[in-house]
Amino acid sequence: MDDLLFVLFWIVLLTSILVSADICFERSGFFTPNGTYDLNRRLMLASLPSLVTANDGFYTTSTGQDPNRVYGLGMCAPGSNTRSCSDCIISSSARLLRNCTNQMEGIDWRMDRTLCLVRYSNRSFYGSLGMEILRSENYTGIFQDDMTDLDDEWEALMISLIDQASTLYYAAGRQKLESSISHVYGVVQCSRDLSLENCTHCLQQDVIEYRSCCRGRQGGIISRPSCFIRWEVYPFLSLFDNIPHLDKDGKKISKGTIVAIVVAPVVLIALGFALWRRRKAYKAFTSDSVDDITTSGSLQFEFKAIEAATSNFHSNNKLGHGGFGEVYNGTLPNGAQVAVKRLSKKSGQGEEEFKNEVFLVAKLQHKNLVRLLGFSVKGEEKILVYEFLPNKSLDHFLFDPKKSSQLDWTRRYNIIEGITRGILYLHQDSRLTIIHRDLKAGNILLDKDLNPKIADFGVARNFSVDQTEATTGRVVGTFGYMPPEYVTSGQFSTKSDVYSFGVLIMEIICGKKNSSFNETDGSISNLVTYVWRLWNNDSLLEMIDPAMEENYDRNEVFRCIHIALLCVQENPTDRPTMSTIFRMLTNTSITLHMPQPPGFVFRVRSKSNPLDERLQSDICFERSGFFTPNDTYDLNRRLMLSSLPSNVTANDGFYTTSTGQDPNRAYGLGMCVPGTDARSCSDCIISSSARLLRNCTNQTEGIDWRMDRTLCLVRYSNRSFYGSLGLEILRSDNYTRDVQANMTDLEITWEALMIGLIDQASSWYYAAGIRKLESSISHVYSVVQCSKDVSLENCTHCLQENVIEYRSCCRGRQGGIISRSSCFIRWEVYPFLSLFDNIAPEKDGKKISTGTIVAIVVVPVVLLALGYALWERRETFKAFTTDTGVDITTSGSLKFEFKAIEAATSNFHNTNKLGHGGFGEVYKGTLPNGTQVAVKRLSKMSGQGEEEFKNEVFLVAKLQHKNLVRLLGFSVKGEEKILVYEFLPNKSLDHFLFDPKKSSQLDWTRRYNIIEGITRGILYLHQDSRLTIIHRDLKAGNILLDEDLNPKIADFGVARNFSVDQTEATTGRVVGTFGYMPPEYVTSGQFSIKSDVYSFGVLVLEIICGKKNSSFNETDGSISNLVTYVWKLWNNDSLLEMIDPAMEENYDRCELIRCIHIGLLCVQENHVDRPTMSTIYRMLTNASITLHMPQPPGFVFTVRSKSNPLEERSQCGPSTSISITCASPR
């Protein structure tokens, strides 16, 4: 008990010895509490934090009319970051309101992580020199060392600081004591409304005061209305962070480095040559927008590093064959495993998909999308590096009888929901609207916990802002997952992905492939047809995967099937959007409408080129007999053909198979030209199969050589034909005119070309080539192909027979086709289709010019300068390495040259200044291409902003959501630290919400849209991003508005990211804006996602009432803030009183009151009682969800305890009485 009393005694003593000083002057008279003057005073003080931070740390203002006008002044020490300045002004204002209960004049010099001044009066005091001493106090012990030394060094320090302050109104510094290793630290500050001469005079008077009051004291404060000094023998607070240590080890270029640069020109020449080669290698990978792939957000890997990681692409590391190439397991030097996708060197057609994946996936960031770590390009080698997912793809579990049991219903439902979130992000929440176009089980990868990640964006397409659909002549994807409108006319939209998603849900529930169902009533054999029949027969239980046994929620499973059927509706307008699907899945109270018959009948799409239509060659043989439509053989035939596209593409373009048992077994073969990309091959096989099914209605044997952007072969029979040489002529056709050139020349050239091609095909089964005609500038183009089931000798024989056939049917014709069961040739006098893309014409091979070589050799000065510049740049960036050793220069964002930033902002001209943001100023800039940007320039004096700068670059560069402000890049040069953001013309939400004139532009529809947009943004930060981000400073000033008044969350300087399993953290440095911070954060530094929820609740209430949190005045002794006000109205059943009059009566009353209800649930005192953002989103978007009654909210903010007793003394007043809050802008 005695110990407790002793502790309490010291707490009381320390809190009474304050480092801050407020004076309530009685000389100017008194006012009546809550009268007009008091209301004006509160209004003025509430506006100060935002105005001071927006105006370089100093602002004077007045509120009201005489005789009740209140004059005010707010000021922070130069270099203070916005958060510290705002917090200090808020605390000073709160202290004055609490202590100066009826005095017309008050002043407070305060030290709360920084130094600030707040002053108010009923008279204008600007420019007047106030010399009365407010405080003359020494509160630390007598210096134990040489006192004379302390006095001498103190005066020397003050002379220097006053000299600096005579120019800048402020100075901070230190002076070493001669007699010890100690220093004396001092700070001086004048109110900036004074003249510089009066500033000097005021500080000199403080020095005189020191001599009489405080000589030999280790520390103290002397303050007057117009100036302030403090000194200590330790670096107090953070005011000295920007003063470099006297013994700083300044690094210089070593002699060895200089010698190496000077005496090794060969190395530099080699470097120049290597750079030239690298640049040349990348030239092929520039997008249509002239956006070089090397500027992509992903990391460029050295090809040697990829070879090392995969043991030179060893077969032991091969994971499988993905789109357009092989996939390998790789291990980086730090032990991290990666998946390395190696584009086939022969597949030039995969180059477009490679660029697509790099440019699209690098811009996407969601926990349900596979993560692109980087890429590499070297010559023909094109590499994509992805995160490694040990469980491969969903189909490896779903369709495997042994592994499928690992997918219980809970896991399957989690997979469905995760895929939903991923597609929803692609369609709606990403800044780019992305259509995947190939959603299927094989493209859903699973992490170690079986969480889904959507992969393979090679054929994805992005839409512009207002675009809803597009049409293509190149239909890509996987047969069975493609909707009717896409297959028949090439039309695709977000609803195309919805169709694929519906099929995927059905597969997840039944555990079988779409193609594995056999119908007996004449309908097409697929899963959609099967499920629709079960739906109509009320027998859905038949489709549920037996591997789940009985361990599932029957209603939940049926609801998912219902949703899937809605997704596969034939008319795309009847399919729900992904946002609707998400609500259907997560809220069982939403009623689902009845589905119509789905779109499961696939038809071959029409051709725009009649010539290509004539190039198809299908033969239905009657020699092998007939079958009865829809009998067992027909079903086996359909099943076998439906499996061919995926099997052919997964097996290097050739596959043989059979389905069923004799005598109804169907044998099949599918083949594509070597080097064909997976999409073109699959599409060709699908078209050939569809043609055979349509034309060969009852024949037990059929064959189709097809040219559809590529060449492919599909064949089926009721007998095994593998290895048998089929020489019957299927087609011998010349369909173009006689050649107009020398006919003899054509024949000689044709035969010479064929001899060469047949020679190649005798080793590879395939060849394509070009040969120039001697008598003209024309060429002959040809392709030859054999079925790869025959021997190479039989291949040669078959093609030679085609040459003989040419001589009798087609001599002198410009083009033609001769096909047999086992081989095919086609020729033209133009490059038909895309089969010749990989045959290089006679290129003008670029070489290094003599001038370039000479320049590299004879200009060593330039190379020396380059070497030095690189060294200097490296030194500059050294300070910006995270604790994990990651250089900021490897960030996904684009590195801007500082000169480009200067040019864009007209050298940071005042006319381009938008305001004062977090830790610096914000300027409007215009890039050379005309793009407008917002340039955030960190204050050179603000060392406290460096951590926030790094935080913004590393965090925001990894985030991508349409409701988050977009970081375009950064720049670092010496002390200059720059962030470049997208430019948003409407500034921040508070500019509209709290402006009497502009607030009318925010009708209820817009306000609700803003609330929902902020919800989506925070939900992404908390749940959908790969990083769990706690913003920690959500407020109206940090919500920017685009041209359509859509919200974007900004200012991530104090944000924190959590690890996967982390739910909360505690800090000794509480940051944010008072009034938006929850009780547990203010009192103990504890924060979590629920901290942001509290801030969001306050923000919702502000949006509805159109007033700042701090602008409410109570008369019953309760704290003056919005939360208290709303809670009182809630209990009095008078919520309509709080609605912003600017909205007039144009609002949905129930919707508005529901939002207030949600706002109150968000500001509950106990953080466990607050809903998550996902729950809030469901509450907002579904009025059928019942909201529980809120408890009294957590609106009593207490000052957190300090670990440093001196800092405890720096707070003003009791720890439970701060009352002023403010929403300050960026």
Going by the annotation, the residues of the binding site for ATP are 341, 936
Which segments of 439-551 are extended strands (E)?
444-446, 452-454, 461-463, 469-471, 491-493
- Classify 887 as helix, strand or coil: strand
Alpha-carbon Rg for the chain in angstroms: 38
Altogether, the residues listed in the chain come to a count of 1226
- Measured CA to CA, the distance from residue 948 to residue 1033 in angstroms comes to 13
Say whether the peptide bond before residue 225 is cis (omega within 30 degrees of 0).
no
Q: Which tokens sit at 209?
A: 């005061």
Residues 6+ apart with CB under 8 A from 28: 103, 104, 105, 121, 122, 123
Q: CB atoms < 10 A from the CB of 275, how many?
A: 11
Task: Please identify which residue in the block is written with the tokens 């890049």.
Answer: 969
Counts for the chain of helices (H) and strands (E), in that order: 33, 44
Half-sphere exposure of 146 (CA within 13 A, CB side): 13
Pairing of strands 967-973, 1039-1041: unpaired
Say whether the peptide bond before residue 67 is cis (omega within 30 degrees of 0).
yes
In sequence order, the β-bridge partners of residue 789 are none
Pairing of strands 220-224, 666-672: unpaired
Q: CB atoms < 10 A from the CB of 387, how many?
A: 17
Phi, psi of 103 (to 5 degrees): -85, 135
DSSP tag of 881 = B
Residues 6+ apart with CB under 8 A from 910: none
In sequence order, the β-bridge partners of residue 978 are 937, 971
The burial class, CB within 10 Å (0-12 / 13-18 / 19+), for 1128 is middle
The burial class, CB within 10 Å (0-12 / 13-18 / 19+), for 888 is buried
Quick check: 399 and 568 in contact, CB under 8 A?
no
Task: Please identify which residue in the block is written with the tokens 């510049």.
Answer: 869
Pairing of strands 666-672, 711-717: antiparallel
* Residue 612 falls in the annotated catalytic set: no
Which segments of 244-359 are extended strands (E)?
299-300, 318-322, 325-331, 337-343
Per 3-state DSSP, the chain is made up of helix, strand and coil in percentages (nearest 5) of 40, 20, 40
Quick check: 1103 and 993 in contact, CB under 8 A?
yes
Q: Which tokens sit at 985?
A: 């013309």
CA distance between the termini of the chain? 49
DSSP tag of 335 = S
**In whole angstroms, how far apart are CA 165 and each of 19, 133, 171, 279?**
22, 19, 5, 53
String of DSSP letters for 1066-1113: E-SS--S-TTTS-HHHHHH-EEEHHHHHHHHHHHHHHHHH-S-TT---
Name the nearest CA neighbour of 422 among 409, 405, 410, 439.
439
Name the nearest CA neighbour of 499 among 426, 569, 586.
569
Q: In which element (H, E) is residue 913 found? A: strand 913-917
- Measured CA to CA, the distance from residue 181 to residue 752 in angstroms comes to 94
Task: Write down the catalytic residue from 1033, 1051, 1092, 1140.
Answer: 1033
- Measured CA to CA, the distance from residue 775 to residue 19 in angstroms comes to 99
Name the nearest CA neighbour of 469 among 443, 491, 444.
491
Tell me the catalytic residues. 1033
